[in-house]
Chains A and B, each alone.
Chain A
Amino acid sequence: MATAIDNQATVAHVAEHEHHEPQSFLRTYIFSEDHKTIAKQYLISGIIWSVIGISLSVIFRLQLGFPDMNMGFLRPVLGNWINESNKLDPNFYLALVTMHGTIMVFFVLTAGLSGTFSNFLIPLQIGARDMASGFLNMLSYWFFFLASVIMFASMFIETGPAGGGWVVYPPLSALPQASPGGGSGMTMWLVSMALFIVSQLLGGINYITTVINLRTRGMSFSKLPLTIWAFFLTAVLGLISFPVLLSASLLLIFDRSFGTSFYLSEIYINGEALPNVGGSPILFQHLFWFLGHPEVYIVLLPALGMTSEIIATNSRKPIFGYRAMIASMMGIAFLAFIVWAHHMFVTGMNPFLGSIFMFLTLIIAVPSAVKAFNYITTLWRGNIRFTPAMLFSIGLVSFFISGGLTGLILGNSALDIQLHDTYFVVAHFHLVMGAASAFGLLAGVYHWFPKMFGRMLNEKLGYIHFWLTFIGIYLVFFPMHYVGIAGFPRRYYAFTSYDFTKNIFADMNSFISLAAVFTFTAQWVFMYNFVYSLFKGKKATQNPWKSNTLEWTTPIEPGHGNWPGEIPAVYRWPYDYSKPGAKDDFIPQNVPYSQTPESNLPHENELISLEKEIEAQNLNDQFKQPH
C-alpha cells in the first residue's frame, strides 16, 4: 500500500476558510445538498438494491437449476408464492425475472453507478466546490428514493409486482387481466419509473451543467480525466433518451387506465374482442428501445471511464490514446441512438430496415474495439500494481471483450432469428453490460473508498472478493451460451415439459445455478469488507494510489466546499505517469510546467508562459460569490 506523500502543490493551501454555520443533522446527512453526501446516499441505496436484485435472481436460478426442488424453506420469506406442493408460483417466477431486470438495470447500474460516481467525482475531479445546483441534486436523490420505495412496495402487494419483463411490452403490460402483476403491480412499476426518470433528468442536467460551467482554471475539455468525459456523455445520453421512455410510459398509463388504444389493437380475450383498435404494440417497442439501447451505454460508459482512470493509474503509464478514447466514447454515444431496432429483428419489422440496423450495430464494434485495444496497450509493459480496483478493472476489460464478441453474433439479423430471446442473449448482455458495469462499480468503490470515507478497504479481502466473483461470473454466464445455442428460451419457468429441452442440459442448468449461488455468496466478502472498513479500516493517506487527478489534492476527508483554500489550478493532462526525467512516477494535474523543467517536453516548455493567464482566470469559484 502506498505511503503518505506530499504532492508539492497541495500542501500549501491550509489557509483560512470562510466560516460556515454547522448544519443540523437532518441537513447534513439526510436532506443534504453536498455532492459527497448525495453520492454516498446513492452508493448505499445502490448496494441495498443490488442485494435485493441479486437475491431475486438466485431464487429463480434455483427454480431453473433444480425444478424438482422442495422450496418450502423459502416460505417464511416468500409466503404464498411457494404453493402447496412447495413449488415456486409460476406467475411469481415471471415477477422475479421482471423485478431482477428492472432493479439491476435502473436502480443499481444506473442510479447506483452513475448516481454515486458522477456526483462524487465530477466536482472533485474538475475542481468545483459542489454541483451547479445542490438543491436539484438533492431533489434528484429523493425522487430516486421515492421511486425506490414504490418499486419496493410493489413487491409486497398481494397480486405481486409487475410480471411482463423489464421491457414491459404491451399488450402483456397494458392489460390487467394478462397476469396477476398486471394490475396494481404494473401501475406501481410505471409510477416508480416515471419518478425515476424525473430523478435522472434532474441529475443529468446538473452533471452536464457542472462539467461545462464549473471547471477550475486551466481545466479545459482536453485536460479532463476520462472519467469526467464518460460521466458527461452518459448524462447527455440519459438526457436525450429517458424522456422518450417517459412519453412511452405515459401513453401506456393511458392505455391501461383511461381506455385509449395507443398500443392496443384487435385483441381477443376468451373469444371476446376488446374494443381497442388502431394502436400498435410495435410502436411501444420502438419508443422503449430508443431509451433501452442508450440505457445500455448509460450503464456501461461510466464503468469504462473509471476503468480508464484506474488502469492508467495502476499501470503507472499514460492512458494509451487519450483522444482516441474520447472519440470512441463519443462514437459509442452517437451510435447508441441509431441502433435500437436490433432488439426487434424478429418482431415483424421490414427485413430491409433490419439490415440497416444490423449494419449500424456492427459499426459499434469499431469504437468498442478501440477502447479494448487501448486498455490492453495501456497495460502493455506498464509498471502494474495489482490493487483490488485494478483487478476489477482488468476483469471489466475481460468481460467487455468476451461479451462484446457475442454481440457481433447477435447483431446479425439472420443469426438473431435463431438466438433471439434465448440464453445466448442472456449470457451476452450479462457479460458485456451487467458484469462489466458491476465490475466498474466495484472497481470504483475500491479505488475511491479512501476519498469517500477516509479509510482503506482491506486489500486481502478485496483479492478474495475479486477472484471468487470473477471466476463465479464466468462459471455462471459462459455455459449459458451453450444452453442458448441449443435454443433454450429465456423467461421460461421450467424446461421439463418441452420435447426439445427436457432431456438435455439439466445438469448444465444445475451447474449454472450452483455457480450463481456461489457468486452471490462471494459478495458477502465485499459486504463485510465494506462495513468493517467503514469503521475499522486503515486510515487513508492523502494520495494512496499516487494518482494525478484533483480529488487527491483535497484534504483526506474533504469538507463542505472540498478545498479549504482556493481551488487548485490545472496545468497538465491527468496522465503524466512515469514521465521520463521526472523525479516521481506521477505528476499531479495541478503541478505547473515551470516546476518540472527536468521532465518537460519542448512544446510543454512553451506552455509555461500561459501559466500566469491560467492563474488569473479564477472567475467561477463559487465561494467568492455571495450564497
Chain B
Amino acid sequence: MAATATNPVATDSTQTFDKKAWMGGVEPMNASYGKLMMWFFLISDTFTFSALLVTYGLIRYSYPAWDPAIYGEVFQFSNLYWPTPEKVYNSVPFLHGIDLPLIFVGIMTFILIFSSVTMVLAVEAGHRMDRKDVDKYMLWTILGGITFLGSQAWEWSHFIHGTEQGTIINELVNGQTIQRTIFGANLVENQYGPPAFADLFFFITGFHGTHVLSGVVLNVLIFYRSATGLYERRGHYEMVEKVGLYWHFVDLVWVFVFTFFYLV
C-alpha cells in the first residue's frame, strides 16, 4: 500500500500540526509509513547495540585498570588488567614505529561523521529535486563509507598481526607453567590484554562494521536509482531521506563505540 508523502496535506505542514493530526484519516506529523518504520527499526537496533555495550561495560569493569602503583611505572601489555587504549591503537599506516595514539581512529571517525554531512546535503538536494546534487553527494557519502570500512579493515589487520615484540604470557599446561610469546589478537588469545578485550573489540566493531557495510550497499542502491532518474519520475526523494536516517544512526552508534573502546 503506497501511502506516501505525496498526500495533499504534505504540502501544507502548518495545517497538520493542529488538533486534528491525531484524529485519524491523516498521517500524523506528516511522516510516511516508510519513514516511521525506519524510525522504529532504529529504536529496535538501538537496543541491540545497547545490549552489546552493556556487555562490554560489565566485562570491562570486572577487570582492573592499569595502575602504575601496582603494575609498574611503564605500561606493559598484560592479561592481568584491561589495557589502556592509547597504547593499543597507536599506529597509522606508512608511519611504522611512531607512537601516534588514537590518531588513525580519529581520522576514521572524522571520515564517517563527514559522510553524514554529505548525506544531509544529499537529502537537502532531494528536497530541492536537484538530481545532479543528490547524485554528487550520494557518491561522496558512499566514498566516505567505503573509506571507513577500508580503514577499519586496516585497523583490524594491524590488531590481528600485533606488535613486533609480542607479549610473553605464562600458561599452565599439564600442571607446568610455560612461557610463550603471542603476537596480535584473535578470538581466543590476545597480546594486548585479556582475551575478552579482543573478543569484545572484534564483536562490537564487527557488528557495527556490518551495519556500515549494509549502509553502503543501501547507499549504492539509492545512488543508482537516483542516477537513473527513478526518484525524479516518482516525484520525491524520500528514499534518500529514509536511508539517510539509517546512515546517521550508524554514525551515532560509532560515536558510542568509539567512546567506549577508545576513550574510556
Contact = CB atoms under 8 A, between A and B. Distances in A.
A213 B38 CA distance: 14
B187 A259 contact: yes
B84 to A, nearest CB: 18
A334 B199 CA distance: 33
A239 B43 contact: yes
Contacts of A250: 203, 207
Nearest to A206: B37
B194 interface: yes
Interface string A574-618: 000000000000000000000000000000000000000110011
B22 A625 contact: no
B263 interface: no
A278 interface: yes
B101 to A, nearest CB: 25
Nearest to A624: B7
A126 B32 CA distance: 17
Nearest to B52: A247
A205 interface: yes
A136 B172 CA distance: 53
B153 interface: no
A388 interface: no
A48 B227 CA distance: 49
Interface string A13-52: 0000000000000000000000000000000000000000
A262 B199 contact: yes
Query: How many B residues touch the partner, as a band?
Result: 35 or more
A261 B36 contact: no
Query: How many A residues touch the partner, as a band?
Result: 35 or more
B3 interface: yes
A619 B62 contact: no
Given A215-B24, A220-B24, A259-B188, A209 B37 contact: yes
A279 B24 contact: no
B23 interface: yes
A618 B26 CA distance: 7
A70 interface: no
Contact of B40 (A204, A215, A217, A220): A204
B interface SS class:
helix
Contact of B2 (A204, A216, A248, A627): A627
Max count, chain A CB within 10 A of own CB: residue among B2, B40, B188, B200: B40
Contact of B33 (A209, A239, A286, A626): A209
Interface stretch (A127-135, A166-174, A344-352): A127-135
Contacts of A246: 48
A216 B199 contact: no
Interface string A233-270: 00000011111101110110010001111100000000
Max count, chain B CB within 10 A of own CB: residue among A134, A209, A251, A621: A209
B47 A244 contact: yes
A620 B187 contact: no
A209 B7 contact: no
Max count, chain A CB within 10 A of own CB: residue among B9, B20, B28, B44: B44
B3 A247 contact: no
A221 B44 contact: no
A278 B196 contact: yes
Given A283-B55, A287-B55, A619-B7, A208 B62 contact: no
Contact of B37 (A136, A221, A247): A136
B130 interface: no
Nearest to B206: A254
A618 B194 CA distance: 62
A248 B27 CA distance: 36
B58 interface: yes
B40 A208 contact: yes
A275 interface: yes
A627 B33 CA distance: 14
Nearest to A610: B23
Contacts, number: 172
A210 B199 CA distance: 40
A622 B24 CA distance: 13
B8 A254 contact: no
Nearest to A33: B1
B1 A129 contact: yes
B173 to A, nearest CB: 10
Nearest to B47: A243
A278 B195 contact: yes
Contact of A244 (B27, B51, B62): B51
A65 interface: no
A619 B196 contact: no
B41 interface: yes
B41 A201 contact: yes
A569 interface: yes
A291 to B, nearest CB: 9
Max count, chain B CB within 10 A of own CB: residue among A214, A216, A570: A214
Nearest to B23: A220
B86 to A, nearest CB: 22
B217 interface: no
B25 A618 contact: yes
A212 interface: yes
Given A275-B188, A622-B3, A218 B23 contact: yes
Given A239-B43, A260-B203, A617-B24, A214 B36 contact: no
Interface string B1-25: 1111011110000000000101111
Contact of A247 (B23, B24, B51): B51
B100 interface: no
Contacts of A221: 22
Max count, chain A CB within 10 A of own CB: residue among B26, B34, B41, B55: B55
A290 interface: yes
Contacts of A622: 1-3
Interface of B: 1-4, 6-9, 20, 22-28, 31-34, 36-37, 40-41, 43-45, 47-52, 54-55, 58-59, 62-63, 172, 187-188, 194-196, 199-200, 203, 207
27 contacts: A133-B1, A133-B34, A205-B36, A205-B37, A209-B37, A212-B28, A213-B3, A215-B24, A217-B26, A218-B23, A219-B24, A220-B22, A220-B23, A220-B24, A244-B47, A247-B55, A251-B52, A254-B187, A259-B187, A261-B199, A273-B172, A275-B188, A278-B62, A283-B55, A286-B54, A625-B6, A625-B7
Given A213-B33, A219-B23, A280-B59, 7 more contacts: A126-B24, A214-B33, A217-B26, A243-B45, A254-B187, A278-B63, A290-B51
